[in-house]
């Protein structure tokens, strides 16, 4: 499937309730390719609300809960999602191959893509050392990408800074999703450390970019989304 520039933009519904989520969906439904549901909305509204939103979207949703536990627990959690229209779902790579394999075997619907989260984009080299990692961020990302591939995952989540290395190592069919995206016109400080612009991430090999605050906090979110899509389109030329 050939992805359009708009298809490549994922917008996170980082809001506390379904009412606000639906407002943003209505506002941005023609501007972005996929909506992502994370911990904030999930803990505020629960699994039933997630299922309702997923069923209303023709493309399904990206469920980004990063469920981390032993393989029996994560496979049980995955089974709770059976039948839901989930396009992508995430599980941390560092819980090991057995847990990832159990998720792959229990994906919600046949077309759901299982993505392994490599290293959070809020962590830099110093942050990695704080949690006891002696290898560089890129080394860890590549090790976890290989683990994800060997476990049967469809792709990974990594920063745009590692996207080129992942693409070169894993080949063209492996899905690369990049959060920590900050357009050049966005100036607000936040907790992201390993950031790139949308065009940099796409040029480095990303299939999708996740852009939240630069769109959600803009005076005109729809216009901000169009500007991001324009950057993606330019990078694809």
Query: d(Cα 197, Cα 161) in Å, to the nearest integer?
Result: 10
CA of residue 132 relative to chain centroid, distance: 25
Q: Any residues with CB less than 8 A from the CB of 14 and at least 6 apart, and which? A: 38, 40, 41, 212, 216
Q: Which of 98, 37, 40, 43 is nearest to 72 (CA)?
A: 98
Select which of 6, 29, 66, 113 is catalytic. 66
211: which residues sit within 8 A by CB, 6+ positions away? 9, 10, 11, 181, 183, 198, 225, 228
Q: Where are the alpha helices (DSSP H) in the chain?
A: 18-28, 39-45, 47-56, 71-79, 97-105, 125-130, 137-150, 160-170, 198-203, 213-216, 221-236
66 is catalytic: yes
Just list the catalytic residues.
66
């Amino acid at each position: 499937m050939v992805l359009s520039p708009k298809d490549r933009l994922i917008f996170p519904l980082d809001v506390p309730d379904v009412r606000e989520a639906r407002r943003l969906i209505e506002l941005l439904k023609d501007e972005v390719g996929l909506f992502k549901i994370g911990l904030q909305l999930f803990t505020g509204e629960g699994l039933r609300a997630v299922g309702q939103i997923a069923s209303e979207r023709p493309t399904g949703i990206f469920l980004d809960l990063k469920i981390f536990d032993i393989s029996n627990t994560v496979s049980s959690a995955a089974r709770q999602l059976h039948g839901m229209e989930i396009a992508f779902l995430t599980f941390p790579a560092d819980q090991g191959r057995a847990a990832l394999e159990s998720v792959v075997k229990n994906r919600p619907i046949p077309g759901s893509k299982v993505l392994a989260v490599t290293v959070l984009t809020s962590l830099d080299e110093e942050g990695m050392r704080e949690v006891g990692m002696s290898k560089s961020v890129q080394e860890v990302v590549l090790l976890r990408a290989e683990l994800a591939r060997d476990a049967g995952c469809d792709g990974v989540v990594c920063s745009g800074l590692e996207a080129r290395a992942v693409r070169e190592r894993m080949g063209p069919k492996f899905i690369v999703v990049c959060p920590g995206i900050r357009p050049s016109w966005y100036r607000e400080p936040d907790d992201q450390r390993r950031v790139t612009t949308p065009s940099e991430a796409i040029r480095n090999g990303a299939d999708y970019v996740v852009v939240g605050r630069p769109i959600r906090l803009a005076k005109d979110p729809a216009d901000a989304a169009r500007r991001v899509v324009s950057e993606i389109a330019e990078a694809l030329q």
